[in-house]
Amino acid sequence: MKLGVLFSGGKDSTLALQKAMQKEEIACLITVASKNPESYMFHTPNIDVTRMQAESIGLPLVRVETSGQKELELVDLSKAIIEAKKEHRIEGVVTGAIESVYQAERIQRICDKLDLWCHNPLWKLDQENLLRQILENQYRVIISGVFAHPLDDSWLGREIRADTITELVKLREKFQISPSGEGGEIETTVLDAPFFKKRIEITKAEKKYALNSGTYDIIEARTVEK
């Protein structure tokens, strides 16, 4: 089955891509770049890095922009999926949804309307288990956004390693923060994974932080042979 993967460049959509690659043919990545940093549907920090990630993986990227208004972004998502269906003849869509019935329901409806399969291979995956899979698969992932107390600017740009996971799990116990960021507490950017033909190296980045939220903006990066 030829599939398009909804791809934000973060750990969840990258792991969903890896799982889908193991079982089906991936025809393209689909990115919706939202201008709304508070989008309910789409990961926003460093969304433009998806171009470099797609090149590193060796897959075509279908990219559409959205103003990010609540229901309008679904129209734009639908446009992106229609383009992927037309250009790459996809028969279905893969998402990195884990818990959010809000996301899952909306994407299911779009796929149903377009007569496409909808797969969510990470659905209900335990958060610590997900983070462990990221480590076991030797992903290089950085935290590119924090959006909840007590995550301060020291977390921005940090690589997710075993010690980071231990700290995030402790924060869950004390502050009810989802360790994998499923509640939107953290966003991530993947710099390398086993199926990346090249890794991504950040050469210039900037931290922006105020009032319990911040982003690690990648200003310049390059792909490097592995």
Partner 1 sequence: MTLVLDMNMWKDSLGADEFVKPILSVIGVCEVRHYLEEFDTAPYDRVILSGTPLKDDEYLNHPDAFKWLKKYDKPVLGICAGMQAMAAAYGAKVEKCQEIGMAEIRTLVDNPLFSGTFKAYELHNYAVKSTKKFITLAESNKCTQAIKHPKKPQYGILFHPEARNIDVMEAFIR
- In the complex, which residues of this chain contact partner 1 (CB under 8 A)? 19-20, 23-24, 92, 94, 101, 105, 108-109, 111-112, 115-126
User: Is 30:6 a contact under the CB 8 Å cutoff?
Assistant: yes
Alpha-carbon span 61 to 26, nearest angstrom: 11
- What distance separates the 2 farthest-apart alpha carbons in the chain? 48
For residue 28, CA distances in Å to 19, 54, 63, 140, 217 come to 15, 9, 10, 22, 25
Cα 29 to chain center, whole Å? Answer: 11
Query: Residue 187: beta bridge partners?
Result: 145
Alpha-carbon span 119 to 122, nearest angstrom: 9
Minimum CB distance to partner 1 smaller for 129 or for 176: 129
Minimum CB distance to partner 1 smaller for 40 or for 117: 117
Alpha-carbon span 49 to 159, nearest angstrom: 16
CB of 117 to partner 1, least distance (A): 5
